[in-house]
Amino acid sequence: MVRCPIDSYDVFLKVHERFRHSKKATAMAEEVVEEYKSSLNDLTFNSKVHINLLTMLAEDNVQYSEHIVKIIEAHLQKVSFFLFSR
């Protein structure tokens, strides 16, 4: 059996660990995005409590802020279309 030199094996382990970590990060981002999207869809009237909850959710997940902003933008477009198409 031919063994990989230690250097190559170490590189393999590092790449494998990064890939595993990126899969976890992606799954976590998807979970946060879905939670935020669901909570935003539940906001159907001006509710200070609900808006504060959305704010805290965004603050707790600042690393996903780009995704959260996209959700808010899409929601605003959807709501604007609904309001102005009457």
CA distances to 12, 25, 34, 45, 61 from 20, rounded to whole Å, are 12, 9, 21, 41, 21
19-57 pLDDT, tens digit per residue, is 566 777 788 888 998 999 999 999 999 999 999 999 999
Q: What are the structural domains, with CATH classification, of the chain?
A: 6-84 (1.25.40.90)
In the chain, % of residues over pLDDT 90: 45
User: 77 or 85, which is more confident?
Assistant: 77
Q: Span 60-74, mean pLDDT?
A: 92
Given a contact cutoff of 8 angstroms between Cβ atoms, the answer to whether 71 and 37 are in contact is yes
Looking at per-residue confidence, does 36 or 9 come out higher? Answer: 36
C-alpha 52/C-alpha 55 separation (Å) is 5
pLDDT of 12 strictly over 80:
no
* Residue 5: predicted pLDDT: 44
